[in-house]
């Protein structure tokens, strides 16, 4: 990546905060993003099921969630989760798209399902996916957030940061064999940055065309382009230490990092 891209990563750390969502307030922010994206904008889920405006499901209780927030406004901007299964628990994709998954791949993890997880519920709020002048659901136009042009350039990195956060979390939790249902274009986009995923079954119509994929975290990390690898290592180290990713840029009055996640927040 060119120097301009490096600057964008630095800008992301300046304008956004990436953290584990592990308390009621941050989890509510995660579920609020999901409601706007999955219920209101794309209508993947029935909004009437969530009168409180928080999209949740039965897998959230066995998941770990990450949250990107816009530092200046406090607005929740992006989220993702890892669903942690065991021998007696199915991943959401097994429950909803089981017939499309290569069962030989799944059987390879019999007796060691505590090493696998599903990366899902990736969402970026529409207000951070629109260029200036375009309408965005609920928040109107992006200019209404009152951001500089330089800051708006970082919005495309929100999805990148949430993907890297899922990878980092899988490594920290030692759930390094990951599965996900992906739209056809996503593996191609990931490959451009050296992120290689492997097909794990057949295409299926589930909220549009999707296919199952899987990857091993360290293999994925080893192929990253240099600048993404640097960003990933920063995220992983921050999670290991229990700090928000932008902690170094969010110093309090005493000059110490404003740490908002306890070191034991990852079990």
Reading the block at residue 154, the tokens are 């970082």
CA 247, distance to chain mean position in Å, is 19
The Cβ of residue 206 has, within 10 Å, a number of other Cβ atoms equal to 14
Residue 71 covered by a domain: yes
Residue 196 covered by a domain: yes
pTM over 0.85: no
State residue 225's pLDDT score: 87
Residue 257 covered by a domain: no
In terms of residue numbers, what domain contains 77?
Answer: 3-242
Q: What is the pLDDT along the chain (267 residues), one digit of tens a residue?
A: 444 444 457 777 888 999 999 999 999 999 999 999 999 999 999 999 999 999 999 999 999 999 999 998 999 999 999 999 999 999 999 999 999 999 999 999 999 999 999 999 999 998 887 643 334 432 233 333 345 555 555 667 888 899 999 999 999 999 999 999 999 888 988 898 899 999 999 999 998 899 999 999 999 999 998 878 888 998 999 898 876 665 333 333 233 223 222 222 222
Residue 142 covered by a domain: yes
The count of structural domains within the chain is 1
Q: What is the dihedral of CA 222, 223, 227, 233, to 10 degrees?
A: -30
Residue 263 covered by a domain: no
Q: At what angle do helices 3-15 and 157-172 cross, to 10 degrees?
A: 80
Q: What is the CATH number of the domain that holds 217?
A: 3.40.630.30
- The whole-angstrom separation of Cα 132 and Cα 80 is 25
Are residues 218 and 171 in contact, defined by beta-carbon separation less than 8 angstroms? yes
Residue 266 covered by a domain: no
> Which distant-in-sequence residues (6+ apart) come within 8 Å of 47 by Cβ?
35, 39, 40
């Amino acid at each position: 990546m060119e120097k301009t891209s490096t600057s964008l990563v630095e800008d992301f750390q300046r304008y956004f905060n990436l953290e584990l969502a592990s308390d009621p307030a941050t989890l509510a922010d995660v579920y609020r993003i999901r409601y706007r994206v999955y219920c209101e904008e794309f209508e993947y889920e029935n909004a009437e099921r969530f009168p409180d405006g928080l999209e949740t499901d039965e897998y959230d209780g066995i998941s770990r969630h990450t949250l990107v927030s816009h530092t200046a406004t406090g607005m929740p901007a992006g989220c993702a989760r890892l669903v942690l299964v065991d021998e007696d628990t199915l991943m959401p994709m097994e429950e909803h798209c089981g017939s499309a998954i290569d069962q030989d791949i799944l059987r390879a993890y019999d007796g060691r399902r505590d090493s696998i997880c599903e990366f899902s519920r990736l969402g970026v709020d529409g207000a951070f996916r629109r260029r200036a002048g375009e309408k965005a659901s609920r928040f109107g136009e992006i200019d209404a957030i009152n951001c500089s042009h330089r800051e708006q350039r970082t919005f495309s990195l929100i999805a990148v940061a949430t993907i890297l956060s899922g990878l980092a979390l899988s490594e920290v939790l030692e759930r390094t064999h990951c599965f996900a249902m992906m739209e056809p274009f996503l593996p191609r986009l990931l490959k451009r940055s050296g992120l290689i995923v492997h097909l794990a079954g057949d295409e299926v119509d589930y909220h549009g065309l999707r296919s199952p994929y899987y990857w091993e975290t360290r293999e994925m990390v080893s192929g990253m382009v240099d600048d993404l690898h640097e960003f990933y290592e920063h995220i992983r180290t921050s999670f290991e230490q229990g700090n928000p990713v932008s902690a170094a840029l969010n110093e309090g009055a005493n000059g110490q990092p404003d740490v908002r996640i306890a070191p034991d927040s990852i079990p």
